[in-house]
């Protein structure tokens, strides 16, 4: 979070508010006070001038009415003497006395050059004409800015003093400087301004202190909020009082405790969920509302063959390679589940994907949960089950159909024919024996599948046992097949069930004889793999061989490379499957190697022991 500067802080706002709350009233009061004071000073100054002028006016009127003689002083001399004798204040800068003819008869300060001149002042003419005082005027010098009060007073003789709107005998023109008044106002305003500045300064200091007391707990809460944002709820905010901010601090601490508890609960649930997802055998993939992958556990990564870092943010439809089957995400949620083929050249892999929609309270899509499970073996078992049922049905139907046909023929009268009847009965007997062999083999496999059999193991010299089995077949073999033996002369001791291993050998050798051509050779070998403590047994024929793609399938139940020839030779298709189960029950392995047209080799291993263990046994 970006640090808040002083000019953006609430402290500055508090200070500004306090200053404004103080400044506005002071300014309003100051403006009113200054205006009222100016008016009062002006009135007092005006009244003071008028009082002075009343005395002057009285003396001038006496001079105007006095009778003049030839040897006595003139009116001008009397007026000038009156002006000279009076002690005028400094504020009065000029006094001019004018007679009824608008001529100057006296002035102060004395200026003789102006005596006798006619004045053109409109104020003076108005006063002389009307005999009334014109309203006072304030003049301002444009150059210096000095302000001057201008006043005019009429002078009446006793003859016309009581008459209204009659011309005056003379007039007095007065100019008085107002700079003294305004200087006093300026000093007072300066004192008021200094007081305002001092008050504002004190207000700023008080504002800083007050704002600090208010913003300090808020600043602490902001710092603790940043700490809480990192997940640390251990600190508490100090409570400085019981006011609203104090209550806010208490509420903040309570909220911190509740968030701490909620986070602990959420974290616990998250860990449980993460542990469950991580330890699930099924793969789990979670997406957002757009279908982009946001979570995937290790089993899912293993199943699809891609790490989470690679698929993160990609569309689940693209990752699961189902673009052609589904157009958008809504169809994916509606499909419920589907089987996806992830097979390649090296591995056959089928995945079952189950989709579950995650929704908000308003039923709007929030995401999708996909559970992946490997159903390769299940599908394989299901397919084998279906094939097994089909094969069993087919294997049983063929002899039963044959038997029914021959029995129907015998029922229709063929039993009376001495040549046909024995053949029909012989075929029926062969098919019955074939079905018996098939059922016996199925029972054996069923017992092996259910582990419903036990091995009666004993210590056997496998070399002698191998020769004994081969000797039995060699006594009854056709003359067109040759047997070749490559078996060690030394004793090879093996713990095994002789009956079951005899059955294994019988199945393998019988198949070799069946598929051997005229003049073919069957080679029997035995080899001790001492490092692995195993005995390797191989039986090789020179038959038609097996295609490369089918070599691993010959141990499947009812599997036949050449079905027509196998049925002709009377096989059930279960011999090698039984042999595989019995070899693996002896802790061994069995497999085949073949080249088409060049014969087939069946190989299996059995663990062997040494002479010392044999003697102790």
Cut 0.75: pTM above it: no
Same topology, domains 11-185 and 280-374? Answer is yes
User: Which pLDDT belongs to residue 433?
Assistant: 74
Split at pLDDT 50, 70, 90, the class of 567 is very low
User: Tokens for 275?
Assistant: 């542990």
Sheet holding 482-486, edge to edge: 482-486, 521-529, 534-540, 599-607, 589-595
Q: Which run of H or of E encompasses 93?
A: strand 92-99
Tell how far CA 223 is from the center of its chain: 24
* Percentage of residues of the chain with pLDDT beyond 90: 3
Q: Which run of H or of E encompasses 47?
A: helix 10-65
User: Which pLDDT belongs to residue 520?
Assistant: 83
Q: For residue 380, which of 545, 552, 507, 548 has the smallest C-alpha distance?
A: 552
* N-to-C CA span, the chain: 82
Average pLDDT, the chain: 78
Mind listing the pLDDT tens digit for each residue in 576-594? 887 888 888 888 999 998 8
Q: Which residue has the tokens 């009376």?
A: 416
Mind listing the pLDDT tens digit for each residue in 321-344? 887 777 666 666 666 678 888 787
> Domain boundaries in the chain?
11-185, 280-374, 379-449, 458-616
User: Which pLDDT belongs to residue 604?
Assistant: 92
Highest mean pLDDT, choosing among 261-265, 417-421, 429-433, 585-589: 585-589
Kindly indicate whether the domain formed by 379-449 is annotated with CATH number 1.10.287.130. yes
Higher pLDDT, 562 or 65: 65
Split at pLDDT 50, 70, 90, the class of 129 is confident
In contact, 146 and 181? CB cutoff 8 Å: no
User: Which pLDDT belongs to residue 548?
Assistant: 80
User: Which pLDDT belongs to residue 605?
Assistant: 92
Residue 118 to residue 105: CA distance in whole angstroms: 10
User: Which pLDDT belongs to residue 5?
Assistant: 54
The CATH homologous superfamily to which domain 11-185 belongs is PAS domain (3.30.450.20)
User: Which pLDDT belongs to residue 536?
Assistant: 92
Sheet holding 137-140, edge to edge: 104-108, 92-99, 170-177, 147-155, 137-140
Contacting residues for 282 by C-beta, under 8 A, at least 6 apart:
299, 371, 372, 373
Split at pLDDT 50, 70, 90, the class of 450 is low
Residue 297 to residue 371: CA distance in whole angstroms: 10
User: Which pLDDT belongs to residue 616?
Assistant: 42
Mind listing the pLDDT tens digit for each residue in 473-522? 887 766 678 888 888 888 889 989 888 888 888 888 888 888 888 778 88
- Kindly write down the DSSP assignment for every residue of 169-231, as one continuous string: SEEEEEEEE-HHHHHHHHHHHHHHHHHHHHHHHHHHHHHHHHHHHHHHHHHHHHHHHHHHHTT
Q: 458-616: which CATH architecture?
A: 2-Layer Sandwich (3.30)
pLDDT at residue 23 greater than cutoff 70: yes
pLDDT at residue 568 greater than cutoff 50: no
Q: Which residue has the tokens 């040494």?
A: 610
Q: Which residue has the tokens 């006043």?
A: 151
User: Which pLDDT belongs to residue 305?
Assistant: 83
The DSSP letter of residue 375 is -
Kindly indicate whether the domain formed by 280-374 is annotated with CATH number 3.30.450.20. yes
In contact, 97 and 106? CB cutoff 8 Å: yes
pLDDT at residue 212 greater than cutoff 80: no
User: Which pLDDT belongs to residue 271?
Assistant: 82
Higher pLDDT, 406 or 491: 491
Phi, psi angles (nearest 5°) of residue 99: -85, -175
Peptide bond into 564 cis (omega under 30): no
Residue 468 to residue 456: CA distance in whole angstroms: 19
User: Which pLDDT belongs to residue 614?
Assistant: 46
In contact, 376 and 554? CB cutoff 8 Å: no
Q: Where are the strands (E) in 253-362, listed by range?
A: 283-287, 293-296, 337-341, 350-359
Q: How many C-beta neighbours within 10 Å does residue 452 have?
A: 9
Split at pLDDT 50, 70, 90, the class of 51 is confident
Average pLDDT over residues 424-453: 70
Residue 191 to residue 246: CA distance in whole angstroms: 42
pLDDT at residue 312 greater than cutoff 70: yes
User: Which pLDDT belongs to residue 441?
Assistant: 66
Residue 542 to residue 523: CA distance in whole angstroms: 9
pLDDT at residue 612 greater than cutoff 80: no
User: Which pLDDT belongs to residue 86?
Assistant: 76
Split at pLDDT 50, 70, 90, the class of 538 is very high
Average pLDDT over residues 124-136: 79
Least confident of 6-15, 289-298, 370-379, 603-612: 6-15
């Amino acid at each position: 979070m970006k640090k808040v500067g002083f000019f953006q802080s609430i402290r500055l706002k508090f200070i500004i508010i306090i200053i404004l709350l103080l400044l506005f009233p002071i300014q309003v009061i100051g403006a009113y006070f200054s205006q009222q004071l100016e008016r009062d000073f002006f009135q007092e100054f005006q009244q003071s001038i008028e009082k002075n002028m009343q005395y002057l006016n009285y003396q001038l009127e006496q001079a105007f009415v006095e009778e003049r003689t030839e040897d006595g002083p003139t009116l001008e001399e009397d007026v000038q003497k009156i002006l000279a004798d009076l002690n005028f204040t400094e504020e009065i800068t000029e006094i001019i006395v004018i007679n009824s003819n608008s001529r100057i008869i006296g002035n102060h300060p004395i200026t003789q050059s102006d005596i006798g001149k006619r004045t053109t002042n409109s104020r003076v003419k108005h006063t002389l004409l009307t005999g009334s005082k014109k309203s006072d005027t304030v003049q301002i010098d444009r150059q210096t800015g000095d302000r001057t009060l201008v006043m005019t007073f009429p002078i009446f003789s006793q003859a016309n003093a009581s008459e209204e709107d009659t011309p005056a005998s003379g007039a007095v023109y007065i100019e008085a400087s107002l700079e003294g008044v305004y200087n006093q106002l300026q000093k007072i305003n300066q004192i008021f301004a200094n007081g305002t500045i001092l008050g504002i300064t004190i207000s700023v200091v008080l504002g800083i202190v007050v704002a600090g007391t208010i913003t300090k707990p808020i600043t602490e809460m902001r710092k603790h909020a940043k700490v809480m944002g990192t997940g640390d709820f251990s600190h508490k905010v100090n409570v400085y009082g019981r006011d609203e901010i104090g209550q806010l601090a208490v509420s903040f601490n309570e909220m911190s405790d509740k968030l701490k508890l909620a986070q602990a609960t959420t974290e616990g649930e998250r860990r449980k969920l993460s542990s469950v997802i991580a330890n699930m055998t099924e793969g789990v993939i979670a997406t957002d509302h757009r279908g982009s992958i946001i979570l995937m556990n290790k089993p899912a990564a293993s199943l699809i063959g891609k790490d989470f870092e690679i698929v993160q943010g990609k569309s689940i439809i693209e990752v699961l390679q189902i673009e052609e089957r589904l157009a958008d995400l809504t169809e994916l949620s509606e499909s419920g589940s589907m089987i996806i083929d992830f097979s390649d050249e090296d591995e056959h892999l089928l995945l079952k994907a189950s989709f579950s929609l995650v929704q908000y309270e308003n039923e709007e899509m929030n995401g999708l949960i996909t559970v992946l499970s490997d159903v390769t073996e299940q599908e394989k078992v299901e397919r084998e089950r279906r094939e097994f049922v089909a094969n069993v049905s087919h294997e049983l139907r063929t002899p039963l159909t044959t038997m029914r046909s021959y029995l129907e023929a015998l029922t229709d009268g063929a039993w009376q024919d001495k040549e046909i009847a024995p053949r029909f009965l012989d075929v029926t007997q062969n098919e019955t024996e074939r079905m018996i062999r098939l059922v016996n083999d199925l029972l054996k496999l069923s017992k092996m599948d259910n582990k419903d059999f036990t091995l009666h193991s004993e210590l056997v010299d496998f070399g002698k046992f191998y020769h004994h089995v081969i000797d039995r077949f060699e006594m009854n073999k056709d003359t067109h097949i040759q047997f070749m033996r490559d078996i060690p002369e030394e004793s090879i001791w093996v713990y095994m069930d002789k009956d079951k291993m005899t059955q294994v050998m019988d199945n393998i050798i019988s198949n070799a004889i069946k598929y051997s051509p005229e003049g073919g050779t069957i080679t029997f070998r035995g080899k001790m793999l001492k490092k692995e403590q195993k005995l390797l047994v191989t039986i090789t024929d020179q038959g038609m061989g097996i295609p490369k793609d089918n070599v691993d399938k010959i141990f499947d139940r009812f599997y036949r490379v050449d079905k027509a020839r196998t049925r002709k030779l009377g096989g059930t298709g279960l011999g090698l499957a039984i042999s595989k189960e019995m070899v693996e029950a002896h802790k061994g392995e069995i497999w085949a190697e073949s080249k088409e047209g060049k014969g087939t080799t069946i190989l299996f291993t059995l663990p062997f022991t040494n002479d010392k263990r044999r003697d102790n046994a």
